[in-house]
Structure 1
């Protein structure tokens, strides 16, 4: 019976991820974008819209933007939770963990990222009405794109990144130091883990304003790097090289031909 419950929870977890990616694909194609975020005629028309004149457009209103970012958080961040949930399962017998606690960890983690979705949706609206990004959420100047790449790359070398990554990279240590029983305890631990995860990965989300947040190839690549950073044997090997690559890309973009 326990095996059936475990299998059902994991199947539901992965079904949620697949459903979120499918929804993102459906939203992207409905906006006239291909998998690389390249705009068709309809999307090009949206890019040229003035948000102050076209506030009825979904991308110029908080509600649709928040819903889009919340779905994106499920698609991009739930895959990065797999090593953490596996660590929780390893401790279930020795530390009196439960399937309710497993669900609590998942829910707490996702609630933090939903809160982040609200914050970045508000940021997107602010940047849109300031004219710094277009209606598709892409930076309107090469200078802003270069600055974002360099800033996120530099953050990869920071002490804050190292601390947050240390928790995400070794969730077992976090569980041992903050263990709480039951669903409520799992929820509390999930909230803590989610906060550290936001501190570790916020930059990859912000880079959506460079490559396009509806560019599924770009956001899929960001998801891949976030997953790699959290793998126990690999995470610490990719963090700084990735930061160097982002800085180099930002410098190249800033110094490229006008």
Structure 2
């Protein structure tokens, strides 16, 4: 009984650390937005507008055109947006501490494995952003310079919502307990392995909403908040499966509207 009480104290401390990490990462994103002269929805002020129009091929040092600082921004963004979506998964493992042979170290392993996969994705999308930036497809703030590209990206992510890959990945994210029961490993290393697997499925499920930052602005707190809210709702056991395809329809319609609107205005 005393050992169980000690375990609960440890897991409670871990939960506090997770929620503190979420708050810290959102505060860091807000601070970065303020430093870049952006408002809460990502609109630049005078200094931000000047930064947005800079040429990344200039000789002067520009953090948003350099891998290290840009990767740091994406890594913090992954923590801010994806840690809240991990809460149901950690809660499922928490139940197995009481009912099976789960341990606090296994819980921590799940968290770290999940984080490793999303940090890896942060490195990948950083490289993608730099390619888009130096190709002139996005500006220095990571916002698409072409309505054609923005619309096509919205449509592509919308269509992905109807694919078999999305169904498989969402099924795992939607029911982490089933994943644990089918891939159960004990201890820290076991938790790490399960966390890596869960993180891989989560990246497969949610990558599109990260990529949509190039439409809404990668530093837009409004986009970050809406995307995080949807990904959390999508993983809720009772309603998650009912929102995936309707969101796909909305994204496709939005993509078509973004592409067609300039033609209508010109006409």
The partner residue of 1:177 within 171, 182, 198 is: 182
The superposition leaves residues 181-202 of structure 1 with CA deviations (integer Å, 9 ceiling, x where unpaired) of 0011000000000000000000
- In structure 1, C-alpha distance between the alignment counterparts of 2:132 and 2:238, rounded to whole Å: 38
Could you say which residue in structure 1 is the equivalent of 2:53?
48
The partner residue of 1:102 within 85, 102, 107 is: 107
Could you say which residue in structure 1 is the equivalent of 2:70?
65
Could you say which residue in structure 2 is the equivalent of 1:111?
116
Could you say which residue in structure 1 is the equivalent of 2:221?
216
- In structure 2, C-alpha distance between the alignment counterparts of 1:59 and 1:155, rounded to whole Å: 29
**Structure 1 runs not aligned, ≥5 long:** none
Tell me the C-alpha RMSD between the 2 structures. 0.9
- In structure 2, C-alpha distance between the alignment counterparts of 1:6 and 1:91, rounded to whole Å: 12
Could you say which residue in structure 2 is the equivalent of 1:191?
196
- In structure 1, C-alpha distance between the alignment counterparts of 2:60 and 2:186, rounded to whole Å: 47
**Is the CA contact 1:55–1:61 (under 8 Å) kept in the aligned structure 2?**
no
Q: Structure 1-normalised TM-score?
A: 0.98
Q: Name the SS for the 2:99 alignment partner.
A: coil
Q: Name the SS for the 1:78 alignment partner.
A: helix
Could you say which residue in structure 2 is the equivalent of 1:74?
79
1:3 Cα deviation (Å)? 2.9
**Structure 2 runs not aligned, ≥5 long:** 1-5
1:95 Cα deviation (Å)? 2.7
Alignment of 1:1-258 (within 5 A): 1-54=6-59, 56-256=61-261, 257-258=265-266
1:55 Cα deviation (Å)? 5.4
- In structure 1, C-alpha distance between the alignment counterparts of 2:40 and 2:125, rounded to whole Å: 22
- List, as ranges, runs of 4+ consecutive aligned residues in structure 1 with deviation greater than 4 Å: none
Per mean C-alpha deviation after superposition, the further-off stretch among 40-49 and 85-94 is 85-94
- In structure 2, C-alpha distance between the alignment counterparts of 1:178 and 1:224, rounded to whole Å: 28
**Is the CA contact 1:54–1:60 (under 8 Å) kept in the aligned structure 2?**
no
1:54 Cα deviation (Å)? 4.9
Q: Name the SS for the 1:39 alignment partner.
A: coil
- In structure 2, C-alpha distance between the alignment counterparts of 1:21 and 1:90, rounded to whole Å: 28
- In structure 1, C-alpha distance between the alignment counterparts of 2:59 and 2:145, rounded to whole Å: 18
Could you say which residue in structure 1 is the equivalent of 2:3?
none
**Is the CA contact 2:173–2:235 (under 8 Å) kept in the aligned structure 1?**
yes
1:4 Cα deviation (Å)? 2.2
- In structure 1, C-alpha distance between the alignment counterparts of 2:7 and 2:54, rounded to whole Å: 55
- In structure 2, C-alpha distance between the alignment counterparts of 1:156 and 1:228, rounded to whole Å: 15
